[in-house]
A and B are shown apart, each in its own frame.
Chain A
Amino acid sequence: MTTPLLSVRNLTKHFARTRGLFGGGGDTVRAVDGISFDVFPGETLALVGESGCGKTTTGRAILRLIEPDSGEVMFDGHNVLTLAAEPLRQLRRKMQIVFQDPYSSLNPRMTIGAIVREGLIIHRIAEGAEADKRVGQLLEEVGLRGDYVGMYPHEFSGGQRQRVGIARALSVEPKFIVCDEPVSALDVSVQAQVLNLLQDLQRDRGLAYLFIAHDLSVVEHIADRVAVMYLGRIVESADGAALYREPLMPYTQALLSAVPVPEPGAKRERIVLRGDAPSNSMPKMGCVFHPRCHDPARDAECAKILPPLEEKSPGHVAACIKRPPVRNSA
């Protein structure tokens, strides 16, 4: 059993949503409400959920791009949340991020060469001609041509810009990258290119990924393990194959069945959830999902008891009181 590269415990982040003229009477939006997970070296953990579930906030919180309210984030033996400014800056080399929107993730006034070079300069990895060489190599590694260095982001397509963002992340030689919906804004054929690239890079450089996404079909290809988030909590987590084969949480089942399948006439049991996701600011009573739950086993208990996240079968945890937990047998 290897030690995890990243270990998150009880991470919490609430946002105050102020009402009224002077900010009185505000609700708190519990964007991330006490989640825990591990990421091992060289593997991909996918964090899946719909908008508002807190996955993006989680990704940024573990890198301390947003300051979490409480919890613990251990990365490579360091406690990220308590590091001082300088050691944090150095640690930043090892943990990087790739963003969702190719149109706002690159500084429009910098050439892509300068964008990729910045990390090298800040961390004094290389300078001058040596830096130029590395920038060229990085661009080629992500499938762009070295002579693109003098061009500006607006001259490139979405897919190409994503590659620049990836090159930028790679420039400081990280061990771990948070991929925040890196392909959601791209066309299908371009998605495939970028996903393949990410997989190749992982293999060649031994990278670990926290892959944040809302599209379960994309995630199946790239993830070793999958965690499903709903309203700020992890509600299910398992090995990739196990989750797809046997989703335990009614929410996960609904998510899977909602993915449109490119097979006309495929009559599937489509689970269509009723209603919308309620806002994260309502006080939690019982299972957060129960108002929309379609599972036949749902009953009054679900409204009262907050289901703990427990192991239902080896390596597979879920938060549902209607699924029997694994018996602690000898």
Chain B
Amino acid sequence: MFADLVAGTRRLWAGLPLGARVSLVVLAILYALALAAPAVAPYLPSQQLDIVALKDQAPSWAHPFGTDRFSRDLLTRVLYGARVSLSVATLAVLMSAMVGTAYGLVAVTAGGVVDSVMMRLLDAMLAIPRVLLLIALLALWNPVPLPALVAVLGLTGWFDVSRLVRAEALSLRERDFVVAARSLGTGTVRLMLRHLLPNVLVPVIVFTTLGVANIIALEAGLSFIGVGVHEPVPSWGTLFFDGTEAFVGTWWAALFPGMAIITTVLCFNILGDALRRVLDPRHFRSA
């Protein structure tokens, strides 16, 4: 079982084009840094070092990313920001993926009226523009605690996955091996978990990687307009917001958080695209 996983991972790596491999490595480094931020960061994020002398300093050896107007080391803030942004995005997307997959699978398995009702509900929810909804919700719930932010993002982002999963599962259901499982007497739950779920995972995995990219950007945007993460918690969004306030004089304050956002989004997109290509034909193509 474990050997399978190792072999599978190796095959996966072998199939990824160079761009995707680089992206994967970059992301791994970012996540590692985020995880190890307290150990790696030279200072504390809210630590106001010498208020006079170190205010708004350009990048230097002591402060590679410079300092902000509150004399806080920006490298530290970006690292801690990574923790917030990456964890919020990852958790939110995972939540979306799980809820969406479950909804889609249950709809297909239940079939008939239940399926129709569930899908119409979904259509209704899809009609609401997500960003506006988020802004409205978060503006009302100000300041929003992080777990709540994750929940809100997660629970508004599962609709597309759900449709995707349902479409896949519908066509899967007619495939002979599913009919075979029914003929063996497989119960509905086992059918769903053992036969449908593993085979709908591929589009869900692709969705997840692309989704994280989206949420990073979304969170950044929301924090930027003030409804996302709040002071003094640093996130890339808030850092970027801070940085643009006095952009002309202190370009570094916006540049580094901005680059962090762009790099992450780019890497996830490249990885997601590559995964989409690598995972599918490999398993369904044969001799």
The answer to whether A and B touch in the complex, with CB atoms under 8 Å apart, is yes
Q: Which residues of A are interface residues toward B (Cβ below 8 A)?
A: 60, 63, 65, 89-90, 92-93, 96-97, 99-101, 103-110, 118-119, 122-123, 150, 153-154, 157-158, 165, 168, 172
Q: In the complex, what residues of A have CB within 8 A of residue B175's CB?
A: 104
The distance from the CB of A105 to the nearest CB of chain B, in whole angstroms, is: 4
Chain B window 223-252, contacts with chain A (Cβ cutoff 8 Å), 1 for yes, 0 for no:
000000000000000000000000000000
Q: In the complex, what residues of A have CB within 8 A of residue B184's CB?
A: 92, 96, 118-119, 122, 168, 172
Q: In the complex, what residues of B have CB within 8 A of residue A103's CB?
A: 286
B190 at the interface (CB under 8 A from A): yes
User: When the two chains form their complex, are residues B185 and A109 in contact, meaning their CB atoms are under 8 A apart?
Assistant: no
Q: Which chain B residue lies CB-closest to A115?
A: B177
User: When the two chains form their complex, are residues B190 and A122 in contact, meaning their CB atoms are under 8 A apart?
Assistant: yes
Q: Which chain B residue lies CB-closest to A107?
A: B177
Whether A93 contacts B185 in the complex (CB less than 8 A), given A105-B177, A154-B283, comes out as: yes
Q: In the complex, what residues of A have CB within 8 A of residue B181's CB?
A: 107, 118
Which B residues, 184 to 234, have Cβ-Cβ distances below 8 Å to chain A? Answer: 184-187, 190, 194-195, 198-199
Q: In the complex, what residues of B have CB within 8 A of residue A122's CB?
A: 184-187, 190
Sample of 20 A–B contacts (CB below 8 Å): A60-B179, A65-B182, A93-B185, A96-B183, A96-B184, A97-B180, A101-B176, A105-B180, A107-B199, A108-B199, A110-B194, A122-B187, A123-B185, A153-B286, A154-B285, A154-B286, A157-B287, A165-B180, A168-B180, A168-B184
Which size class do B's interface residues fall under? 20 to 34
Q: In the complex, what residues of A have CB within 8 A of residue B176's CB?
A: 99-101, 104-105
Q: Which chain B residue lies CB-closest to A108?
A: B283
User: When the two chains form their complex, are residues A65 and B183 in contact, meaning their CB atoms are under 8 A apart?
Assistant: yes
A96-B184, A99-B180, A110-B194 are known; give 7 further A-B pairs, CB within 8 A: A96-B183, A104-B175, A109-B198, A118-B181, A118-B184, A119-B185, A158-B287
Q: In the complex, what residues of A have CB within 8 A of residue B185's CB?
A: 89-90, 92-93, 119, 122-123, 172
The distance from the CB of B29 to the nearest CB of chain A, in whole angstroms, is: 31
Which B residues, 1 to 53, have Cβ-Cβ distances below 8 Å to chain A? Answer: 4
Chain B window 272-283, contacts with chain A (Cβ cutoff 8 Å), 1 for yes, 0 for no:
000000000001
User: When the two chains form their complex, are residues B183 and A108 in contact, meaning their CB atoms are under 8 A apart?
Assistant: no
Q: In the complex, what residues of A have CB within 8 A of residue B179's CB?
A: 60, 65, 97, 99
Whole-angstrom distance between the alpha carbons of A127 and B286 in the complex?
32
B61 at the interface (CB under 8 A from A): no
Q: Which chain B residue lies CB-closest to A150?
A: B4
User: When the two chains form their complex, are residues A63 and B177 in contact, meaning their CB atoms are under 8 A apart?
Assistant: no
Q: In the complex, what residues of B have CB within 8 A of residue A108's CB?
A: 177, 199, 283-284
Q: Which chain A residue lies CB-closest to B181?
A: A118
User: When the two chains form their complex, are residues B177 and A104 in contact, meaning their CB atoms are under 8 A apart?
Assistant: yes
The distance from the CB of B197 to the nearest CB of chain A, in whole angstroms, is: 9
Whole-angstrom distance between the alpha carbons of A105 and B184 in the complex?
13
Q: In the complex, what residues of B have CB within 8 A of residue A158's CB?
A: 287
Q: In the complex, what residues of A have CB within 8 A of residue B198's CB?
A: 107, 109-110
User: When the two chains form their complex, are residues B195 and A107 in contact, meaning their CB atoms are under 8 A apart?
Assistant: yes
Q: Which chain B residue lies CB-closest to A93?
A: B185
Cross-interface CB contact of B177 among A90, A93, A96, A106, cutoff 8 Å: A106
Top 10 A-B residue pairs of the complex, sorted by shortest distance between their CB atoms: A105-B176, A92-B185, A109-B198, A89-B185, A99-B176, A154-B286, A107-B177, A104-B176, A119-B184, A97-B183
Q: Which chain A residue lies CB-closest to B283?
A: A108
Whole-angstrom distance between the alpha carbons of A101 and B284 in the complex?
14
Whole-angstrom distance between the alpha carbons of A72 and B12 in the complex?
51
Q: Tell which of B175, B194, B198 has the most Cβ of chain A within 10 Å.
A: B175
Q: Which chain B residue lies CB-closest to A114?
A: B194
Q: In the complex, what residues of B have CB within 8 A of residue A110's CB?
A: 194, 198
Q: Which chain A residue lies CB-closest to B195?
A: A107
The distance from the CB of B193 to the nearest CB of chain A, in whole angstroms, is: 12
Q: In the complex, what residues of B have CB within 8 A of residue A157's CB?
A: 287
Whole-angstrom distance between the alpha carbons of A7 and B147 in the complex?
62
Whole-angstrom distance between the alpha carbons of A159 and B140 in the complex?
64
Q: In the complex, what residues of B have CB within 8 A of residue A165's CB?
A: 180
Whole-angstrom distance between the alpha carbons of A105 and B190 in the complex?
17
